[in-house]
Amino acid sequence: MISRLQENWSKNKVLQNKWMVGPNIGKGLFGEVFEAKSVGEQVYNKVVKVQGLQTKEKFETEVVILKKCSSKSSFPQHCGSFSLDNLFFIVMSREGESIEDIVRRNHRGSSEMLLVLIPKRGAT
């Protein structure tokens, strides 16, 4: 479903009258990643990750973790999150490490380890 975004979106698509989406720069663990910037900015200094609805619980968990980690200087800063047209969007600063990078560096694990380390919503 998400791979259709490249076909359906023109470069510089504006979301919520706030975020301008640029070219696709890769695929993350749960979705595709595009360059992004605030409308009116000159430089693409953010990224937007787009995820399908089937990942709602993972999306909500990722947003909670990203918000908690945003105070760390080495972690991407949460800029916004929302759903639109049956897709979930997370806008974050472009600098910093992903959770996957931190897991690999500190635990020498795979991307699948991330699913083990992030508790299910409501679990303690």
- Structurally, at CATH architecture level, domain 4-96 sits in 2-Layer Sandwich (3.30)
Pick the residue with more confidence: 113 or 76?
Answer: 76
For residue 9, the model assigns a pLDDT of 60
Nearest-angstrom CA–CA distance, 28 and 30: 6
Tokens 């200094």 appear where?
A: 45
For residue 7, the model assigns a pLDDT of 56
The per-residue pLDDT for range 39-48, each reduced to its tens digit, is 999 988 898 8
Q: What is the DSSP string of 83-120?
A: EETTEEEEEEESSS--HHHHHHHHH---HHHHHHHSPP
Burial of 112 (0-12, 13-18, 19+ CB in 10 A): exposed
For residue 91, the model assigns a pLDDT of 94
For residue 38, the model assigns a pLDDT of 93
The per-residue pLDDT for range 56-101, each reduced to its tens digit, is 788 888 889 889 888 777 788 899 999 888 888 999 998 755 566 6
Pick the residue with more confidence: 118 or 91?
Answer: 91
For residue 110, the model assigns a pLDDT of 57
For residue 121, the model assigns a pLDDT of 44
- In this structure, are residues 122 and 98 in contact, taking their beta carbons and an 8 Å threshold? no
For residue 70, the model assigns a pLDDT of 82
